[in-house]
Amino acid sequence: MTHPATQSIVFEDLGRVDYDAAFDVQRAVHAEVLAGVRPPTVLLLEHDPPVVTVSRRKGAGDHLLAPPAVLDRYGIQVRETDRGGDITYHGPGQLVAYPILRLDGFDLNLRRYIRLLEQAVIDTAAAFDVAAGRDTCAVGVWVGESAASCAAQAGDGAARSAKLAAIGVRIRKWTTMHGLALNVTTNLDHFGLIVPCGLQRPVTSLQQLLGDRCPSMDAVKRTLADALRALLATGGR
């Protein structure tokens, strides 16, 4: 079954944008989608200047490792966020997608929606010959061999998988905000300033995995948009 709402989805490319400005756009679009005066909208962007976002989860702030002086040296902002999850990093070279849509319009609940976002990244990675998948230990999209247990993943064993994309959402009045962040040519060194998502595990990017074969940001944007549109058409099934 194809959901009629899919035909009206709008994708808006905001380019590189400050986190605060992007959040203001999110809130404005969310209010319009919720009021029924705007179609489902997916915002595509990169955050510039780079920013560390810290959720309201207890202990999330403890996962910020760098002191203010170091963050200032790198020009990295710190912002509290109302999404789920823990702490993460956003910056140039990382494709961020903020779908703003009514879940009931696509026959989705929260669990299926998270799975849909993961699958969109998995399908996007596959289009560029990167085998990515889910991890039973954590939300997000990962590459590499999964260990047999979550305890093993938390250790220093070579079997740990590396995170390619982070996912964190907020649902307000059954309408989504925030979304996913896919590392394309992201500066991975900046992840060393935090404990990403509160997990002591590696982070990777398409550039690190593919080298000179890494696609352009525009190509990844188009591919991710196509994947989201196709999955939303069927409610992720």
Catalytic residues: 197
Strands 87-90, 51-54: parallel, antiparallel or unpaired by DSSP? antiparallel
CB 123 within 8 A of CB 115: no
Is residue 141 within 8 Å of 164, Cβ to Cβ?
yes
Burial (CB < 10 A; 0-12, 13-18, 19+), residue 94, is: buried
Instruction: Say if strands 94-100 and 175-183 run parallel, antiparallel, or are unpaired.
Output: antiparallel
CA contacts within 13 A on the Cβ side of 23 = 13
Strands 10-17 and 41-47: parallel
Q: Which residue has the tokens 């196709």?
A: 230
